[in-house]
Amino acid sequence: MDKFQVCAVDEACCTDCNFCREVVICPGPQTCIGCGACVAGCPNEARALVADKQPRVQVTITVDGQPFAVPERVTLKRALEGLGYTFGIAPGKGDLAAPCCTGGCWSCAVLADGQAVRACVHPVSDGMIVQTALPPGQPPLRIVHGPQPHTVGGKATPWDLKARGRYVEVAIWTAG
């Protein structure tokens, strides 16, 4: 793992809408793990992933009973990829699945310290114990937002009704 990324904010585009703080689970700019969820979700395209050349300390995680050294400030997904695990865009297309890579679908769920977490947005921590297979009977987890106004509109909503910053409809969103 030699190429790391972190989020950079274009202050000229940022409107302080707080999406990155209230909707995306983000550890913050000083401890960014480079997951990119805030980049994908920013309604004003004010965020981008950029190269991070700062050195990373190695931390120890235990995966399925085996200890490994991985870089700090990376997602659990990135650490697992560095250990040889593959992630597909659908179940059965890799060792684990991560179709959305933003934490919404929960398809990348693993157990970290006994809790189900989304590997694509969860940071590694020193001493973390990871189990890649969820236990039998683990209930599926989903994210549900709403009802809330949004500016997207449904399929075939005329573009002139989709003016920036103007709500078109109210919806309840679910992921996964």
| CB neighbours of residue 85 within 10 Å | 17
Instruction: Return the minimum-mean-pLDDT range out of 62-66, 67-71, 72-76, 97-101.
Output: 97-101
Domain locations in the chain? 4-52, 58-131, 143-175
Tens digit of pLDDT for each residue in 119-157?
Answer: 999 999 999 999 999 999 887 776 666 666 656 665 556
Residue 83 vs residue 101, higher pLDDT:
83
- Distances 123 to 32, 49, 80, 92 between C-alpha atoms, Å: 9, 16, 11, 24
The type of residue at 15 is T
Tens digit of pLDDT for each residue in 9-36?
Answer: 999 999 998 888 787 777 777 889 999 9
DSSP 122: P
Q: What CATH number has the domain spanning 58-131?
A: 3.10.20.30
Query: Smallest Cα–Cα separation from 56: which of 36, 37, 74?
Result: 74
pLDDT at 76 over 90: yes
